[in-house]
Amino acid sequence: MLEKKIIEVRKRVSQWKKDGLSIGLVPTMGALHEGHLSLIKKSVETCDKTIVSIFVNPIQFGPSEDLEKYPKTIDADLELCKNAGVDLVFSPSPSEMYGEGHILSNDFLTYVVPPYFYTDKLCAKSRIGHFDGVCTVVMKLFNIVQPDYAVFGQKDAQQLIVIKKMVKDLDIPIEIISCPIVRDKNGLALSSRNQYLSEDGKKYSLALNKILVNIKACYKKGITDTKSLVETALVFLNNHHELEYLEFVDKNTLENKTVADGDTLVLIAVRVDNVRLIDNCFII
Ligand code: PAF
């Protein structure tokens, strides 16, 4: 079930390909929750074989981010994968992925760098180089596993759009499947980082979904000017919230919108008691 070595994964995949089986990849950083399980379910339904990768990718974390404390729950993750019908979990070490001593500076690694237009906004503004790290590791995982399908969550909307763009621009022969955001009963979008929230933080974090639901309702009533829509958010925020961004973009190209229309994606990032949370919705 668990493989740590690239060479072993390649052997398994090559046998499955010889047998004519289709392969789905679900890339994750572990600490699996219902959101991940929905991606796994989609892959298991769509493909003959499903591989889940679990790798906390150091090159997508900035120097002051949570790489060291990112939750690691490999035993529970393996159990969940087994019960969900996963065929193989690939969980390499950083040196397996990036070489002995894994020197990770830009001078020592070939990076896949998405277009600036996609990374001069939203999460990339505060997470410099984040999407270079994401695209590089995803490209490596694609090359190692060579899946027919790869499944990603709509929760990381900017990541999903950037990966789709990479696949299109580099003619990668993989179909990207996206799955809707999974929320808890109070509306909070599931994320491995929700574990960092205190009990009060959990209450304050509900503001993100409330803001999005309210924006959808305002749009339905006819408010399309995005400045006015941003203002509707203020009533949900207090001094426990630090709004990083609330933006309106085209759902395919990430182009900014001043007037919302049917193609609008609304994205929000808020620090709640210093935990960075993101959420998004299609305006219709
Ligand atoms: O979304 C994630 O968990 C990560 O960014 C990904 C796609 C697994 C790459 O490390």
Residue 104 has pLDDT above 70, yes or no: no
CATH code of the domain occupying 192-282: 3.30.1300.10
Can you tell me which residue has the tokens 């339904």? 45
Position 103 scores a pLDDT of 63
Mean pLDDT of all residues in 175-196: 97
Of 36, 60, 134, 154, the one to substitute when testing ligand 1's pocket (max ligand atoms within 8 A of C-beta) is 134
Determine if ligand 1 sits within 6 Å of the CB of residue 27.
yes
d(CA 257, CA 188): 26
Domain 2-179 has CATH 3.40.50.2300: no
Which residue type does 216 have? K
Position 108 scores a pLDDT of 78
Residue 176 has pLDDT above 90, yes or no: yes
Confidence of residue 110 (pLDDT cuts 50, 70, 90): very high
Q: Which residue in the list 36, 130, 240, 241 is annotated as catalytic?
A: 36
Residue 102 has pLDDT above 80, yes or no: no
Query: Among residues of the chain, what percentage have pLDDT more than 90?
Result: 94
Helix (H) or strand (E) holding 270: strand 264-272
Pairing label, strands 275-282, 264-272: antiparallel
Confidence of residue 273 (pLDDT cuts 50, 70, 90): confident
Position 230 scores a pLDDT of 98
Mean pLDDT of all residues in 76-93: 98
Mean pLDDT of all residues in 196-213: 97
d(CA 12, CA 201): 44
Active-site annotation holds for 36: yes
Q: How far is the CA of 59 from the centre of ligand 1 (A)?
A: 11
Residue 34 has pLDDT above 70, yes or no: yes
Q: How far is the CA of 29 from the centre of ligand 1 (A)?
A: 6
Residue 202 has pLDDT above 90, yes or no: yes
Residue 228 has pLDDT above 90, yes or no: yes
**What global pTM score does this model have?**
0.96
Residue 106 has pLDDT above 70, yes or no: no
Pairing label, strands 175-179, 275-282: unpaired
Do 88 and 1 touch, CB atoms closer than 8 A? yes
d(CA 248, CA 255): 8
Q: Which ranges of 146-225 does DSSP label H, i.e. alpha helix?
A: 157-169, 199-220
Position 229 scores a pLDDT of 98
What tokens were used for 209? 């979904």
Counting beta carbons within 10 angstroms of the beta carbon of residue 179, is it exposed (0 to 12), middle (13 to 18) or buried (19 or more)? Answer: buried
Mean pLDDT, the chain, rounded, equals: 96
Residue 107 has pLDDT above 70, yes or no: no
Domain boundaries in the chain? 2-179, 192-282
Determine if ligand 1 sits within 6 Å of the CB of residue 154.
no
